[in-house]
Amino acid sequence: MLLKPAKDSVDLLIFVNDIRKSLDFYQGTLGLEKTEEVQTPFGNVHRLRYGTSLVKLMDPKQVPPAGPIGLDKQLGMRCLSFVIRDLSGVCTVLKEKGVEFTVPETQVLPDTRIAMVKDPDGNIIEFVERG
């Protein structure tokens, strides 16, 4: 393998339109832990931890235009997946918090269930439970 992992996960950078709404969703609703805020030439990055991964929210100096929303609307990375335990419990809490589901709790494979929601910018967030 060309790449030699330095950790057992990958990190993701998401450019957002409204950092307050995005932090409220990722930190407040989903419960990701904010570890730091870093200034970059492109804007401020808010680093949120999920396990050993970082979800990095970019508050850009200049907000680029949004692309089409939906899994099958354009090429490129289409969703952020969180592999979790207790999908039903998570879905119940998210519904209570008013989060709208694009895909309700669904069995997709014999040992895999998923649910999907959108973040404040319309990015698809997938929750996966295996076993």
Residues 88 and 121 in one domain: yes
pLDDT of residue 72: 84
Residues 84 and 116 in one domain: yes
**pLDDT tens-digit series, residues 68-112:** 888 888 888 889 999 999 999 999 999 999 999 999 999 999 999
Q: Is the pLDDT of residue 123 over 90?
A: yes
Q: Is 98 part of a structural domain of the chain?
A: yes
For residue 112, what are the contacts with CB-CB under 8 A and spacing of at least 6?
128, 129, 130
Residues 101 and 126 in one domain: yes
Residues 16 and 55 in one domain: yes
Residues 57 and 106 in one domain: no
Residues 81 and 124 in one domain: yes
Q: Which domain holds residue 121?
A: 77-131
pTM: 0.92
Q: Is 123 part of a structural domain of the chain?
A: yes
The alpha carbon of residue 38 and the mean position of all alpha carbons in its chain are separated, in whole angstroms, by 19
Q: Is 20 part of a structural domain of the chain?
A: yes
Q: Is 3 part of a structural domain of the chain?
A: no
Q: Which domain-ending residue is among 63, 85, 103?
A: 63
**pLDDT tens-digit series, residues 2-36:** 999 999 999 999 999 999 999 999 999 999 999 99
DSSP-derived secondary structure letter, 124: E
The structural domain count of the chain equals: 2
CATH number at residue 129: 3.10.180.10
Residue 81 three-state SS: strand
Residues 85 and 53 in one domain: no
How far is the C-alpha of 24 from the C-alpha of 5, rounded, in Å?
31
